């Protein structure tokens, strides 16, 4: 990390820090706790955005653009690939290094960072929980076609079909009866708002867990009269395999489109080499930037110059050969969750930068007014 890109306070801390020595078990535990709080996707590596969260807590005052350069130099100094990120050993080396290339932190400073990060995680979780509750409420109202405050068998099936249920009417009727029986409600009355929220948050086999992205996708369809009409039409009782395959294909296309849009940071409808690498890392790619550049060219083929569009992306994740990047529906859901965590980190970065400029603006807009009781320059105090 360059000295001109860290705060003066952090720089002074480095100068006054002791020489590196073998850390105590307590200190190692603190470093691990901080690392795990930063590692929001749990892949054992700190990406550029994740490491910036830590840097901000240590006093870093550079912009997000400056951080890109600093992070690249930092990784080079530590022998790591910027595209892959830093492991826990690299972070431990960094915070134990009192030299110019390090960012030494005392045990007390690490403990303070840990407490602040735990608070930040709690606040993000509270915000996420509130947003999710609003999503579930909106989906419930959208599915409640008769507006009686409960979801009957057919209304509840809208959600189930969206989540991948491919059975016949008879099979769904049995499922709905069982769901109501297990939760102590009358199938004739249906599922109320509280039970619907509990089911959609339940990740066990007895629940109907729905990710935030799936809720948003369903809500978008429910808000479109034409799409909603398709959702509420019962499936053929024959259990026609072609019909079931069509439903499964549409659901798979939905999740692929959601992942594509999540990776498309600049919203230009195409995935650049950098944007596609974010997806590749979540599928297990661990190569260098140079290796990824060659891989990207190979994946795109003749389309490399114009970058990857949704059609090509969908083709790749559906390709089971060595030339493709096949992902199951469940794998795509997991990747989507990890990308959302990265987006939370990016949002936090913006929040960290904004407050620092606000006080300056306030001072410029409101000049200091002279105190009427204060002594003037020509009149000594106490005369």
According to DSSP, the residues that pair with 270 across neighbouring strands are 309
| Residue 381: partners with Cβ closer than 8 Å, 6 or more residues away | 375
How far, in Å, CA of 270 to CA of 74, rounded? Answer: 30
In this prediction, residue 4 carries a pLDDT of: 44
d(CA 165, CA 172): 8
Tokens of 339: 């990308």
**What are the residues facing 307 on neighbouring strands?**
none
3-state secondary structure of 152: coil
pLDDT at residue 358, rounded to an integer: 47
Superfamily of domain 241-352: EF-hand (1.10.238.10)
Number of C-alpha atoms within 13 angstroms, CB side, residue 62?
Answer: 19
CATH number for the domain formed by residue range(s) 128-239: 1.10.238
Tokens in use for 122?
């709690």
- Cα 223 to Cα 138, 219, 251, 272, 284, distances in angstroms: 10, 6, 18, 31, 36
Backbone Cα Rg of the chain: 27
The CATH superfamily label for domain 3-105 reads: EF-hand (1.10.238.10)
Element (H, E) at 124: helix 107-143
CA distance 110 to 346: 22
Q: Residue 247 has what pLDDT?
A: 58
CA–CA separation, 222 and 210 (whole Å): 15
The pLDDT value given to residue 47: 92
Over the stretch 343-382, which tens digit does the pLDDT of each residue have? 767 666 666 655 544 444 444 445 545 544 444 444 444 4
Q: Let me know if the fold of 3-105 is the same as that of 128-239.
A: yes
Are 310 and 234 within 8 A, CB to CB?
Answer: no
Q: Are 156 and 191 in contact (CB under 8 A)?
A: yes
Q: Which residues contact 239 (CB under 8 A, 6 or more apart)?
A: 167, 168
Q: Is the pTM of this model over 0.85?
A: no
Token digits of residue 79: 């022998």
CB neighbourhood size of 68 (10 A): 14
Residue 105: CB partners within 8 Å, gap ≥ 6?
A: 13, 58, 95, 113
For the chain, 383 residues long, the average pLDDT of each consecutive 10-residue run is 44 45 80 90 90 87 87 89 91 86 86 86 68 90 88 90 83 87 86 92 83 89 76 53 62 81 87 90 89 88 76 91 85 81 68 53 49 45 42
Res 152: pLDDT: 92
pLDDT digits (tens, 9 = 90+) for 49-103: 989 988 888 888 888 889 888 899 889 888 899 888 999 999 999 889 888 777 8
User: Which distant-in-sequence residues (6+ apart) come within 8 Å of 304 by Cβ?
Assistant: 296, 297
| CA 152 to chain centroid | 34
User: CA 245: distance to chain centroid?
Assistant: 31
CA distance 199 to 206: 8
Domain ranges for the chain: 3-105, 128-239, 241-352
Count CA atoms within 13 Å of residue 191 on its CB side.
Answer: 32
Q: Which helix (H) or strand (E) covers residue 106, if one does?
A: none
DSSP per-residue string spanning 37-81: HH-TT-SS-B-HHHHHHHHHHTT----HHHHHHHHHHHHHHHT--
Burial class (CB in 10 A: 0-12, 13-18, 19+), 11: middle
């Amino acid at each position: 990390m360059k000295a001109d890109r860290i705060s003066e306070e952090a720089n002074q801390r480095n100068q006054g820090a002791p020489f590196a020595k073998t850390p105590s078990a307590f200190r190692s535990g603190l470093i691990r706790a901080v690392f795990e709080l930063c590692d929001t996707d749990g892949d054992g590596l700190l990406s550029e955005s994740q490491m910036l969260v830590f840097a901000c807590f240590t006093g870093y005052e550079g912009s997000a653009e400056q951080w890109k350069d600093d992070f690249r130099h930092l990784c080079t100094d530590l022998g790591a690939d910027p595209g892959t990120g830093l492991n826990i050993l690299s972070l431990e080396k960094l915070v134990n290094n009192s030299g110019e290339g390090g960012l030494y932190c005392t045990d007390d400073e690490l403990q303070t960072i840990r407490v602040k990060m735990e608070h930040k995680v709690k606040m993000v979780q509270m915000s996420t929980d509130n947003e999710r509750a609003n999503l579930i409420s909106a989906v419930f109202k959208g599915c409640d076609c008769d507006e009686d405050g409960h979801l009957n068998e057919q209304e509840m099936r809208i959600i189930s079909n969206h989540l991948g249920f491919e059975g016949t009417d008879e099979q769904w009727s049995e499922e709905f009866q069982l769901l109501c029986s297990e939760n102590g409600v009358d199938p004739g009355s249906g599922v109320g708002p509280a039970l619907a929220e509990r089911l959609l948050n339940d990740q066990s086999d007895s629940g109907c867990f729905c990710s935030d992205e799936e809720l948003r996708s369903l809500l978008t369809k429910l808000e479109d009269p034409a799409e909603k009409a398709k959702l509420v039409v019962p499936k053929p009782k024959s259990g026609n395999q072609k019909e079931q395959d069509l439903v499964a294909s549409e659901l798979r296309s939905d999740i692929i489109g959601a992942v594509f849009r999540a990776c498309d940071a600049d919203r230009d409808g195409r995935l650049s080499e950098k944007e596609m690498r974010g997806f590749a890392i979540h599928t297990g790619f661990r190569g260098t930037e140079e290796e990824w550049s060659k891989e990207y060219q190979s994946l795109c083929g003749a389309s490399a110059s114009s970058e990857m569009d949704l059609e090509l992306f969908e083709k790749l994740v559906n390709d089971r050969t060595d030339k493709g990047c096949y992902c199951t529906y469940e794998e795509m859901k997991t990747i989507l969750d990890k990308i959302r965590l990265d987006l939370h980190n990016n949002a936090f970065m913006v929040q960290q930068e904004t407050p620092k400029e606000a006080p300056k603006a306030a001072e410029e807009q409101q000049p200091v007014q002279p105190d009427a009781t204060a002594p003037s320059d020509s009149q000594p105090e106490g005369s």
